[in-house]
Amino acid sequence: MSEIKKAWYKEMSVYQIWTRSFCDGNGDGIGDLKGVLSKLDYIKSLGVDAIWFSPIYASPQKDYGYDISDYRDIAPEYGTLEDFKAVLDGAHERGLKVIMDLVVNHTSDQHKWFKESLKGADNPYHDYYIWRKGKGKNPPNNWKSTFPGPAWEYNEELDEYYLHLFAVEQPDLNMDNPAVRNEVKDIMRFWLDMGVDGFREDVITYISKREGLPNGFPLPVACGMEHFTCGPHLHEYLSEFNDEVLSQYDCMTVGEAPMMTPDTALKFIDESEGKKPVLNMMFNFQHMEADCMITNFIVTKFNLKKLKKVMTTWQTKLYGKGWNALYLENHDQPRIISRFGSEKFRVESGKMLATMYICQSGTPFIYQGQEIGMTSIRLPNLSMYKDVATHNTYDIFKKFGFPHENIMKRAMYASRDNGRTPVQWSDKKNAGFTTADEPWFYINPNYTEVNVEQAENDPNSILNYYRKLLKFRKENEIVIYGDFKEHFHDSDKLYVYERNYEGKRMLVVCSFSDTIERFTAPKGFDLAKGKVVLGNYDELNSGFDSFNLRPYETKVFLFD
Ligand code: NOJ
């Protein structure tokens, strides 16, 4: 193991904004950049160091911005480029970095490149996308979209199919075409020259497809993934982006990487002596499968041992070699309290979950509303859902014979829309999100109790706990650079781990139980000598090495 290298992107924590539901500044019911501008002081007050914007570019919004029709403009409902520059300057003035979403696996079908590509094989833009002849009456291969359904769409005029690994309105780009890679590099330069500080790269591990596009192992969802995940040229293309653009700027990258394992991740992010990483971090999905399998809709009972195994493996395999991206929520996930925690013990479990992941080694990402403990909305009717993936998944389950009620139960737990309801700012009309009569999407009725205003006024709120936790992380290098060792890995109630750095030691104790659990310090720890630096009940140290943990209790001990 080599000496751990320090870097600004390792020391920062990041706040993710999904603009549409963040704050409406112009009263049209949709969150926008004016709204963001008005909340920069709030964001700064959390103690984060950067903002990651989910896509705010021009888009028909079929997949809420992940279908881009112009990479160099802002969606009119969110504002203008001038508004964005005001946010960028405002963020920088406050010492906050700004990270943009880079979505280059696919564009919108309304992007001018795609419209040109429809003009036929002679058009230079035709080869910007993956067009193929069918096999008889069948598509070119058996691949399936990750938003369930076919991955190929037939165009009668051209008598060809185009590939779309997501919605039909999101055609995949042909990254093997050097002209497409040049476009990507130009887009990167455009935003970096404007002053942005890095990119979160959307499904970046899908950009290289295996030559010949062979059939995949037959699966109902994402069939063919073995041919489009970490494809043959992925490393080469990421290197090219790095060498020609990213390395010329002081910026960071985090790649979204479905189905990623730590060993494969290291092929891209290993920064050990003699290695050249092509990304700084990767978002893996393995820990988000502690209550589901393959897709969020195949719901299983939350399994702490599964969660611990995955998180611990990433911690230990990457330590000293690569850097972890830590998260529990984002715009693709239901709210974490409603999954791995407890709505009954909302405050306790919200704080415990925060401690559990933010005290690990890596850069923590916090999704809007997570810091006040927002919960899943659980919409009861299919027509209430806006998310294309939810509707596609419903159709596939229906096709496989699942009864409506059964699928709705899954959607209520697992739909991405659970995490996309407007941020609850106050107990006023529309939770203070908008002055319009109708917000663009449903507001969780618990906004009367769960909102920023309430949390600001309560010293024991989840919000104030996040502030304390992030401050503690910033002030204690052990949280950032310490090593990681798990204890009691057989427990299905407790997640206990220690961190060590330059002679200091930290013990993190997290209970996932809704009843009292007995805790005995791991061998070698004399708790009387430690200081309780964080906790979600009282923070006194009894000095005893054995005590009762209350429901969802967390305690962090520091030993100098
Ligand atoms: C991952 C994004 O996070 C998700 O929201 C989107 O639907 C897909 N990639 C497709 O871009």
Q: What percent of the chain has a predicted confidence (pLDDT) above 90?
A: 96
Over residues 505-559, the pLDDT tens digits come to 999 999 999 999 999 999 999 999 999 999 999 877 888 999 999 999 999 999 9
Which of 468, 501, 526 terminates a domain? The answer is 468
What is the CA(332)–ligand 1 centre distance, in A?
7
Q: What are phi and psi of 12, to 5 degrees?
A: -85, 165
**In the prediction, which pLDDT does 542 show?**
85
**In the prediction, which pLDDT does 215 show?**
97
What is the CA(279)–ligand 1 centre distance, in A?
19
Pocket of ligand 1 contains residue 222 by CB under 6 Å: no
Ligand 1: atom nearest CA of 166 is 10
Over residues 360-377, the pLDDT tens digits come to 999 999 999 999 999 999
How many other C-beta atoms lie within 10 A of the C-beta of residue 542? 12
Would you say 291 and 340 are in contact if contact means Cβ atoms under 8 Å apart? yes
157 shares its domain with 250: no
What is the CA(346)–ligand 1 centre distance, in A?
28
pLDDT at 2 over 70: no
Over residues 260-296, the pLDDT tens digits come to 999 999 999 999 999 999 999 999 999 999 999 988 9
Pocket of ligand 1 contains residue 329 by CB under 6 Å: no
Amino acid at 33: L
259 shares its domain with 187: yes
Overall domain count for the chain:
3
Residue with the smallest CA separation from ligand 1 atom 2 is 202
Over residues 60-94, the pLDDT tens digits come to 999 999 999 999 999 999 999 999 999 999 999 99
**In the prediction, which pLDDT does 541 show?**
81
Pocket of ligand 1 contains residue 348 by CB under 6 Å: no
**In the prediction, which pLDDT does 149 show?**
84
| Residue 374 located in a structural domain | yes
User: What pLDDT band is residue 420 in, cutting at 50, 70 and 90?
Assistant: very high
| Residue 256 located in a structural domain | yes
388 shares its domain with 279: yes
Pocket of ligand 1 contains residue 203 by CB under 6 Å: yes
**Helix (H), strand (E) counts: the chain:** 16, 22
Would you say 339 and 326 are in contact if contact means Cβ atoms under 8 Å apart? no
Ligand 1: atom nearest CA of 66 is 11
CA–CA distances in Å: residue 267 to residues 181, 270, 284, 392: 21, 6, 14, 33
What is the CA(200)–ligand 1 centre distance, in A?
11
**In the prediction, which pLDDT does 540 show?**
77
Ligand 1: residue of 64, 163, 203 to mutate (most ligand atoms within 8 A of CB) is: 203
Q: Contacts by 140-144 with C-beta closer than 8 Å and gap 24+?
A: 140/213, 141/213, 141/214, 141/215, 141/216, 141/224, 142/215, 142/216, 142/218, 142/223, 142/224, 143/213, 143/215, 143/216, 143/223, 143/224, 143/227, 143/228, 144/219, 144/220, 144/221, 144/222, 144/223, 144/224
CATH number of the domain encompassing residue 536? 2.60.40.1180
144 shares its domain with 184: no
Over residues 281-335, the pLDDT tens digits come to 999 999 999 999 988 999 999 999 999 999 999 999 999 999 999 999 999 999 9
**In the prediction, which pLDDT does 52 show?**
98
pLDDT at 219 over 80: yes
Regarding pTM above 0.85, the answer is yes
pLDDT at 424 over 80: yes
What is the CA(105)–ligand 1 centre distance, in A?
10
| Residue 158 located in a structural domain | yes
pLDDT at 247 over 60: yes
The three-state (H, E, C) secondary structure of 257-297, written as one string: CCCCCHHHHHHHHCCCCCCCCCCCEEECCHHHHCCEECEEE
125 shares its domain with 273: no
145 shares its domain with 16: no
For the segment 6-11, the average pLDDT, to the nearest whole number, is 98
**In the prediction, which pLDDT does 109 show?**
98
For the segment 151-180, the average pLDDT, to the nearest whole number, is 98
191 shares its domain with 264: yes
What is the CA(55)–ligand 1 centre distance, in A?
10
**In the prediction, which pLDDT does 3 show?**
73
| Residue 459 located in a structural domain | yes
281 shares its domain with 186: yes
Residue with the smallest CA separation from ligand 1 atom 11 is 66
Tell me what the pLDDT averaged over the chain comes to.
Answer: 97
User: What pLDDT band is residue 345 in, cutting at 50, 70 and 90?
Assistant: very high
| Residue 475 located in a structural domain | no
Burial 166-177 (b: 16+ CB within 10 A, else e): bbbbbbbbbbbb
| Residue 123 located in a structural domain | yes
Residue with the smallest CA separation from ligand 1 atom 8 is 66
Indicate which residues carry an active-site annotation: 202, 256
Which of 441, 468, 495 terminates a domain? The answer is 468
198 shares its domain with 272: yes
141 shares its domain with 268: no
User: What pLDDT band is residue 144 in, cutting at 50, 70 and 90?
Assistant: very high
**In the prediction, which pLDDT does 347 show?**
98
47 shares its domain with 124: no
Which of 468, 493, 525 terminates a domain? The answer is 468
pLDDT at 446 over 80: yes
439 shares its domain with 488: no
Pocket of ligand 1 contains residue 63 by CB under 6 Å: yes
Over residues 456-499, the pLDDT tens digits come to 999 999 999 999 999 999 999 999 999 999 999 999 999 999 99
Give residue 530's domain range.
Answer: 483-559
For the segment 200-228, the average pLDDT, to the nearest whole number, is 95
Burial 52-61 (b: 16+ CB within 10 A, else e): bbbbbbbbeb
